[in-house]
Amino acid sequence: MNNQFLAFVEEQMYMKRYAKRSVQTYLKWINGFIRFHNGQHPSVLFDADVERYLSYLVNNKRVAANTQSIALNALSFLYKEIIKRPLSLDLKFVKSARQAKLPTVLTVSEVQQLFTHINIHYKLPAALLYGSGLRLMECLRLRTQDIDFDFKNIRVWDGKGGKHRVVTLAEELSGPLRSQIQLVNHYLSLDRGNKAYAGVYLPHGLRNKSPNSRFTIGWQYLFPSKTLSVDPESKLVRRHHIDESSLRKAISAAQIAAKIDKKVGPHTLRHSFATHLLQNGADIRTVQDQLGHADLRTTQIYTHILQRGGNAVISPLKNLF
């Protein structure tokens, strides 16, 4: 039942225009829910069974609050959109009290060392993670037209929570980005000569309204893969963006080569962007806007890791020395 049912859920999620990452995440938690209940079909389970599973995640798996929330979102989708029997809004389960970890942040000199050692093919996307505070997938999903050289900003579409925002673009990256777009144009010229090529993936509304946009330079991914591949949704041949794992590995390898004694990943560069902005005197609400945080409290976590202590308050002990 599992494989057949999950394949149906996957198909429904793609039809409802969910991102590939969201589909994979939701399927993971739905599958876990089914396994927890010994393979029973979700249609014979309901509120109390969901409550037991969510409590199990906290009591036995010790998951963080955010992880438990994602599991709940997956099951809410399952019952509302697939089973057609929405869950109660008043579910009673053990909520995670596990505190989120403070983010790892690099010093400016460590960032410099990291970029000295990173593979040249991944230096530009990594520079955008740090220079513009982008999330990993926000960076990889950029299209060439999202770069605004005139106003020195980047337009981020459908970020976390489906929100759009505009972030700063470091002037130092203008030259490398123009060269990158020339490379994208070269790939496009080659692809258009390939009869099997069906154009780049487009948002659902645009593919009907302006189907020829899939062959225009503006809609091509800023960081395209070196090879063509089959789109799992449409089964058509396209050129996708570079794989997220390759950028993760490049950053990890650079951290080792630079002998930085911290666990460094793509999100570390975003954390460092936010912290360094605050250190340089940026207003916290400006940083909130740049990061795309809905709640200011999420941004305030960066004030806790500044050298001056929690919320950037200077200790009174300073006056004794």
Query: Of 143, 239, 270, 276, which is the active-site residue?
Result: 270
Q: How many CB atoms lie within 10 A of CB 225?
A: 15
Decide if 135 is catalytic.
yes
Angle at CA 319, nearest 5°, toward 107 and 104?
Answer: 20
Decide if 186 is catalytic.
no
What proportions of the chain, in percent to the nearest 5, are helix, strand and coil? 60, 5, 35
Decide if 121 is catalytic.
no
Whether the Cβ atoms of residue 79 and residue 68 lie closer than 8 Å to each other: no
In angstroms, rounded to a whole number, what is the distance separating the alpha carbons of residues 149 and 132? 14
Decide if 270 is catalytic.
yes
Decide if 302 is catalytic.
yes
Query: Of 28, 52, 160, 207, which is the active-site residue?
Result: 160
Query: Of 143, 238, 239, 293, which is the active-site residue?
Result: 293
Query: Of 28, 98, 117, 135, which is the active-site residue?
Result: 135
Decide if 304 is catalytic.
no
The HSE-up count of residue 136 (CA atoms within 13 Å, CB side) is 16
3-state secondary structure at position 251: helix
Tell me the β-bridge partners of 168.
153
- Annotated catalytic residues are 135, 160, 267, 270, 293, 302
